[in-house]
A and B are shown apart, each in its own frame.
Chain A
Amino acid sequence: MLELRGIDVAYGSIQALHQVSLRVGPGEIVTLIGANGAGKTTTLMAISGLVPPHRGEILFEGRPITGLAPEALVRLGICQVPEGRHIFPELSVAENLDLGAFLRRDRRQVAVDREQVYRLFPVLQQRRHQPGGTLSGGEQQMLAISRALMARPRLLLLDEPSMGLAPLMTKHLFEIVAAINKEQHTTILLVEQNANLALQVADRGYVLENGRIVMHDTAEALRRTPAVQSAYLGI
């Protein structure tokens, strides 16, 4: 479904990604794990068209999408929940959700999807008139994921959904992510520092170190790899 072929990204003279190649198949949950500054977020930003790769190619369903505008990528069904949630703080919860569906013209279906999101996260319905900035961290993460779902994504990019959340909330969110994948057949590329959790929900995983992919395998195999265990799982 998504394929990165030899992506290089540089910020000025600092090269953040070296020859990153990865593949996400339809219906899969693939995780990208790695330490702070390894280039995980940069990889997602390159896929979403916010930082242009200097070299390499990105394919979505076999078509090259390198250099397309973020708008065009959202239209294709590639939606990102960025690190730090990026809720529009002064817009209400409902308005935040509406903006998720910004490019959609099928108003009736948007309303149906909004109801579905409210069923998934009832707390959002209770707070639909409240400004997004007044929600708690966990609620903001729910809103951020819901906002992305409002676009009917075919590929969902999740950046550090567990950041700053209580363990129980994180567990709840990951269950919902797994459910979205199963019930709506949404393909998911998950970036996480919490490798333990990520490798539990994912089918396959890639390990990113200093801007390079150093390992990839099924999630289960990675969990059993000693190098991964000592570096990322704290075993």
Chain B
Amino acid sequence: MEYFLELLFSGLTRGAIYALIALGYTMVYGIIGLINFAHGEMYMIGAFTALIVSSVLSIYGLPLPAILVLAALAAAIWAGAYGFTVERLAYRPLRDAPRLAPLISAIGMSIFLQNYVLLAQTSDFVPFPSLVPEFAFLEPYGAIVDSSGLTILAVSTLVMTALTLLIKFTRTGKAMRATAQDRKMALLVGINVDRIISLTFVTGSALAAVGGLLIASHIGQINFAIGFIAGIKAFTAAVLGGIGSIPGAVLGSFVLGLTEAFATGYVSSDYEDVFAFSLLVLILIFRPAGLLGKAATEKV
């Protein structure tokens, strides 16, 4: 039972991280129909930014929680700036081009950013400090729950709730949904669609960066390529849940995270990816639009 709970917790933690990244994929897809293949790189850049900022701050001897918060803010802002720039440079000029063109420039951006970090930093794995303090109250449950995992769950729940409220109730959120549903009409009611699209990229990148920081602190090392596999997994989660749907991305992420955790725990860690992608294939066979996705038929 304890083993089961441990796996359950580790699956939820994984799912929460996937969700933070998957939200960026699904929001961008929902609004401009593009798979932003450079999105995983925002997660990687977030982790590197957090590493640099936290190293500097720890020289000044700040307490750990303060470092964690400041590093998260810095990572979110910096990755947000990258997201903004990538959209401006690589996607906006191609907005009316055939669908394949922005897809290829997205892959190009991903390769560029990876190699840029490789050259600017290093190709080796670099150690990442644990930014989450050990919670004393968790000690009796140490075998099941650890404090960094719990922090991941808490932070991502908080962030996702805030995002949902933003999209549901604010003026900007309404403008986002309107732009996603009918871009031409959004222009006609006076929404600055370019600004909304930029904002979507910035938000998605900031979320991924927070995910990057949390997982780096959990695992303890990063390198320039971590964005690739995390990006692919989160993308899988978004497709699993129904790309374009925000609740779908969250659900897909948790389904994927739990599947991986149980597959690793009860079968073998070698089969982690096999189970993850078999699940994707299975769901796409029976529900091609994903768990919460809508079939692409529209009433005219």
Binding site for B on A (CB under 8 A): 48-50, 69-71, 74-75, 79-80, 82, 86-91, 95, 98-100, 102-103, 133, 147, 151
Q: A71-B192, A133-B299 are in contact. Are A88 and B187 (CB under 8 A)?
A: no
Contact of B178 among A69, A80, A91, A103 (CB under 8 A): A91
Q: A48-B188, A147-B189 are in contact. Are A99 and B299 (CB under 8 A)?
A: no
Contacts of B182 in A (CB 8 A): 86, 88-89
Contacts of B174 in A (CB 8 A): 91, 95, 98-99, 102
Contacts of A103 in B (CB 8 A): 189-190
- State whether A88 touches B177 (Cβ < 8 A): yes
CB distance from A60 to the nearest CB of B (A): 15
CA distance A132 to B178 in the complex (A): 12
- State whether A88 touches B181 (Cβ < 8 A): yes
CB distance from B208 to the nearest CB of A (A): 26
With contacts defined as CB atoms under 8 Å apart, how many contacts are there between chain A and chain B in the complex?
65
Most buried by A among B188, B189, B191: B188
Contacts of B181 in A (CB 8 A): 88-91
- Closest A residue to B188 using CB positions: A80
Binding site for A on B (CB under 8 A): 171, 174-175, 177-178, 181-182, 184-192, 298-299
- State whether A90 touches B188 (Cβ < 8 A): no
- State whether B190 touches A90 (Cβ < 8 A): no
- State whether A75 touches B185 (Cβ < 8 A): no
- State whether B192 touches A88 (Cβ < 8 A): no
- State whether A86 touches B191 (Cβ < 8 A): no
Nearest 10 CB-CB pairs, A to B? A74-B190, A86-B185, A70-B187, A103-B190, A88-B181, A71-B190, A99-B189, A102-B189, A80-B188, A88-B178
- State whether B177 touches A50 (Cβ < 8 A): no
Contacts of B177 in A (CB 8 A): 88, 90-91
- State whether A151 touches B190 (Cβ < 8 A): yes
Most buried by A among B171, B178, B185, B192: B185
CB distance from A109 to the nearest CB of B (A): 16
A89-B182, A102-B174 known, 10 other contacts, Cβ within 8 Å:
A50-B184, A74-B188, A87-B185, A88-B181, A88-B185, A99-B175, A102-B171, A102-B189, A133-B299, A147-B189
Most buried by A among B182, B189, B298: B189
- State whether A102 touches B188 (Cβ < 8 A): no
Most buried by A among B182, B186, B299: B182
CA distance A95 to B188 in the complex (A): 15
CA distance A99 to B191 in the complex (A): 9
Contacts of A100 in B (CB 8 A): 189
